Amino acid sequence: MGNEPEVPVFLLYGPAGAGKSTIARVVAHRIYRSQGIPAIFLHPENDQVDFVVVDSLSRQIEASLAAGSQPRGRKPILIIIDEAAGHIQDVRRLPQYLASRGIPALILAVARENEWGVARGEQPLAHVIQVSVDDTLDTKTSEPLALIRHLRGLDVLVSAHEDSYWEARISREFDNSFATTLYQLAEPTRPPLTKAIRDEYEKLSPLAKQAYRYVCIFYQFGIPIDLELLARSLGCSYERFIESVYDQAIRGVIVEDVSGTGDIRFRARSRLVAERVVAHVYRSETPWLDDVCSVIRACLPHNANEVKTIRNMLIHRIGPRGAEPKDLCAVTQAFRSALDGGIRDSALFHHFALLLADQEQFDDADGYAQEALAVIDDNHGRMHFKTESRQNIHNTRGMIAAKHGLKQANLGATHRASELFEQAVIYFRAARTGEFANVYPFYSEAWMLFQRARSAEGITAIAHIAEAFQVLDEAEGNVADDDMPSISEMEAKLVRCLSDFQNLDTALQTLRESDAPTAAYLDARYATVEGSQGYSTEEAYRIVTASLGKTPDHAPCLRLASNLHHELYPEDFSGWKEILERLLYLEGDRRQCSTLFRLGYAACQLGKYNEAQPYFEELEQESTGHPRRSRTVKVVKDGEENRRLAGSVLAIRSPTEGWLKSEEIATDIKFIPRAQKFTAKKGDAVTFSLTLNYRGFLASDLRPA
């Protein structure tokens, strides 16, 4: 993966019982044996991935490999996320986080197909390589026969019947299901799995049945329950719990596990078994949600593990963005049980706000979102309650205000709607900055403007479309490259809306008379869209520069002009830099990462390295968590060739950190010793190429001078 660590994501998906987790472990074992790539398994019961721990562990593994006899060059680390549907945001952000810190890695996400589809929503992950594990045996390629012969070879299937007999049974009785076939053929005298599970449940004592129900409700989603939480939720004495339930666990119906912190937890034998028990006991969803409330009410708010269990269930499984269908009234009651019981968790407040917003209870929703922020800001609050990202909460408040505004506009309350739209913009802008590059506030603000355009007419609708395009323009370079497909999707919606607009020319002419810069921007922006009527980069540039001649301080036109200028005149860095300097001035306190980087890059191309340095210093402060902090974004060139600079090596601190000095650049420049083609030593005179990213300068391709 060399000097530019990318973090590809592989998705292994399929139905329950298809062997996904087993396959993931086999893959980890084999690539370690064949290529020496180590693996990290992220525990599925954790409500969210601790990126700092992953970072620390990854660096420890890297250091260990570097100290050993591994071949030269950095090896990626395989990170496996099981039950990935419950960690969809982690799967989105972890690659960006690792890339921004220069950690080469591969991510293997394992999930059930139905859960993954619901969890990812309307915004699929970009660049995910999907691999399906199908539970259905392929009769065309004789998979049933191959499985029969394999089980015979292992002495698992001991039978005098011919292979054709078992092939027919697999088709007729087992529906060519791999999991069912394996279960039945391993011991042909077994009763059907569903009947065996039902009989096992009915043999339990009443209290053990209740405990098993609670365990299965949670473990159908892969969530075990702590012993003390289960005992409390049953409302019996500890002695009776030990006598009636713990003995059942020893018998293997309820499985006992010990967590990494030494806590005893209970689970079913598998998620598949837990699902069958829930299906047998409950006829619909609502009754088992009532039992979830019983467990929630028994949770101790000061117990971080118990809170984590409840949070995982409510947010990742049955909440408004969870992987399961839900009864809104029952889910609402479950959230209220948690919050009323003292579990004042920022993520629970946040997701309860989402739930209420889905029911158009906008004022209450915003109140709970504010509660989420208050928990984060409470210096005396419990740390295990501070689990939500401030950026996510700001974006949610923006969406609440936007949806509320759209409803008020439909009711004719235009003044109130305008106030809400203004609030939404404030929240969306606040959500743009924080610990990671966030595409959602850009997408959400453009979505709000798109919806306003659809419900408006004439120049008002056209103006909203122009504003939406301007928001999307600001996203470029300020969000992760992998998230740009979402921006492109929204752009396509705006283009369709504009293409379908009746009397577009008349509306544009009216807009020109009232707001000439916005009209010029929209004319030019529409001309940049490939496939649109009048598509022409040259014409777009002519329109926007003419407008800037009359209104030079129109930031959207300047931003568009900077993009078009560099596309049309890629060698005119002086002219490009002049446009960017004007744009940066207009951005004021809201200076964009993309503008800062482009200014630094243009200055470097002009040989003004010390002038570029302040831009990169500010960019490093503003680009926390951005993947472009580690990967090479640009290389300083002379024509088609990389520019060569001269310098001397100041220090070699580790295989991944070295520093050199160049007379042409005032600041010391970092390089990665391990990535070079020769072993540099302190004091060596070298030449190098200058690569640029959101951290600033990075020397590459060192050669002896």
Instruction: Outline where 588-692 has alpha helix (H).
Output: 593-605, 609-622
pLDDT at 517 over 80: yes
Q: What is the pLDDT, as a whole number, of residue 2?
A: 38
For residue 272, the tally of other CB atoms under 10 A from its CB is 18
pLDDT at 345 over 90: yes
Rounded distance between C-alpha atoms, residue 608 and residue 601, angstroms: 10
Quick one: angle between helices 206-219 and 227-234, nearest 10? 130
Rounded distance between C-alpha atoms, residue 417 and residue 405, angstroms: 4
Taken in order of first residue, the domains within the chain and their CATH numbers are 9-132 (3.40.50.300), 634-704 (2.40.50.140)
The distance from CA 190 to its chain's CA centroid, rounded to whole angstroms, is 43
* Cα 198-202-204 angle, rounded to 5 deg: 125
Residue 703 near residue 649 (C-beta atoms within 8 A)? no
Q: What token pair was written down for 418?
A: 């305008």
Rounded distance between C-alpha atoms, residue 137 and residue 147, angstroms: 9
Point out the least confidently predicted range of 66-70, 162-166, 607-611: 66-70
* Cα 630-565-505 angle, rounded to 5 deg: 120
Residue 94 near residue 107 (C-beta atoms within 8 A)? yes
Residue 511 near residue 522 (C-beta atoms within 8 A)? yes
Radius of gyration of the chain (CA): 30
pLDDT above 70 coverage of the chain, percent: 91
Across all residues in the chain, what is the average pLDDT? 87
Q: What is the pLDDT, as a whole number, of residue 114?
A: 65
Residue bearing tokens 């409803």: 407
pLDDT at 1 over 50: no
Main-chain dihedrals φ then ψ at residue 56, nearest 5 degrees:
-60, -45
Give the model confidence (pLDDT) of 407-441 as tens digits.
999 999 999 999 999 999 999 999 998 877 789 99
Rounded distance between C-alpha atoms, residue 351 and residue 393, angstroms: 9
For residue 259, the tally of other CB atoms under 10 A from its CB is 13
Residue 192 near residue 262 (C-beta atoms within 8 A)? no
Average of per-residue pLDDT across 295-321:
90
Backbone region of residue 430 per phi and psi (left: phi > 0; alpha: psi in -120 to 50; beta: other values): alpha
The distance from CA 527 to its chain's CA centroid, rounded to whole angstroms, is 33
Q: Tell me the sheet residues that pair with 77.
A: 105
Q: What token pair was written down for 240?
A: 């009776």
Main-chain dihedrals φ then ψ at residue 340, nearest 5 degrees:
-70, -25
Residue bearing tokens 């609502």: 286
pLDDT at 189 over 50: yes
Residue bearing tokens 């005149």: 569
**628: amino acid identity, one letter:** R
Main-chain dihedrals φ then ψ at residue 175, nearest 5 degrees:
55, 30
DSSP three-state, residue 329: helix
284 vs 323, 330, 456, CA distance in Å? Answer: 17, 12, 43
Confidence tier at 370 by pLDDT (50, 70, 90): very high
Cα–Cα nearest to 310, from 295, 288, 289, 325: 295
For residue 305, the tally of other CB atoms under 10 A from its CB is 17
pLDDT above 90 coverage of the chain, percent: 47
Residue bearing tokens 């839900």: 326
Write down how long the chain is.
705
Q: What is the pLDDT, as a whole number, of residue 244?
A: 80
Rounded distance between C-alpha atoms, residue 306 and residue 348, angstroms: 14
Secondary element (H or E) of residue 478? none
What helix, strand, coil percent values describe the chain, rounded to 5? 60, 10, 30
Confidence tier at 448 by pLDDT (50, 70, 90): very high
Residue bearing tokens 């029952």: 330
Cα–Cα nearest to 13, from 94, 95, 119: 119
For residue 415, give the DSSP letter. Answer: H
DSSP three-state, residue 79: strand
Rounded distance between C-alpha atoms, residue 186 and residue 402, angstroms: 57
Q: What is the pLDDT, as a whole number, of residue 5?
A: 44
Q: Tell me the sheet residues that pair with 256.
A: 266
Backbone region of residue 458 per phi and psi (left: phi > 0; alpha: psi in -120 to 50; beta: other values): left
Rounded distance between C-alpha atoms, residue 248 and residue 92, angstroms: 41
Higher pLDDT, 313 or 482: 313
pLDDT at 503 over 60: yes
Contacts for 409 with CB less than 8 Å, ≥ 6 apart:
417, 452, 455
pTM (2 d.p.): 0.80
Main-chain dihedrals φ then ψ at residue 108, nearest 5 degrees:
-115, 110
Average of per-residue pLDDT across 143-157:
87
DSSP three-state, residue 191: coil
Cα–Cα nearest to 217, from 264, 267, 269: 267
Confidence tier at 4 by pLDDT (50, 70, 90): very low
Residue bearing tokens 């969306």: 428
Q: What is the pLDDT, as a whole number, of residue 188?
A: 63
Higher pLDDT, 327 or 305: 305
Cα–Cα nearest to 469, from 584, 542, 546, 557: 557
Give the model confidence (pLDDT) of 603-652 as tens digits.
999 999 999 999 999 999 988 888 888 778 999 999 999 999 999 999 99
Secondary element (H or E) of residue 133? none
Q: What is the pLDDT, as a whole number, of residue 18?
A: 74
Residue 204 near residue 274 (C-beta atoms within 8 A)? no
Rounded distance between C-alpha atoms, residue 230 and residue 271, angstroms: 18
Rounded distance between C-alpha atoms, residue 295 and residue 451, angstroms: 41
Secondary element (H or E) of residue 459? helix 458-475
Q: What is the pLDDT, as a whole number, of residue 72?
A: 45
For residue 145, the tally of other CB atoms under 10 A from its CB is 16
Main-chain dihedrals φ then ψ at residue 94, nearest 5 degrees:
-60, -45
Confidence tier at 599 by pLDDT (50, 70, 90): very high
Q: What is the pLDDT, as a whole number, of residue 256?
A: 84
Residue 336 near residue 351 (C-beta atoms within 8 A)? no
**114: amino acid identity, one letter:** N
Cα–Cα nearest to 110, from 251, 236, 271: 271
Q: What is the pLDDT, as a whole number, of residue 442?
A: 96
46 vs 293, 315, 511, CA distance in Å? Answer: 20, 12, 53
For residue 483, give the DSSP letter. Answer: G
Residue bearing tokens 């419950």: 86
Point out the least confidently predicted range of 11-25, 244-258, 351-365: 244-258
Average of per-residue pLDDT across 95-118:
77
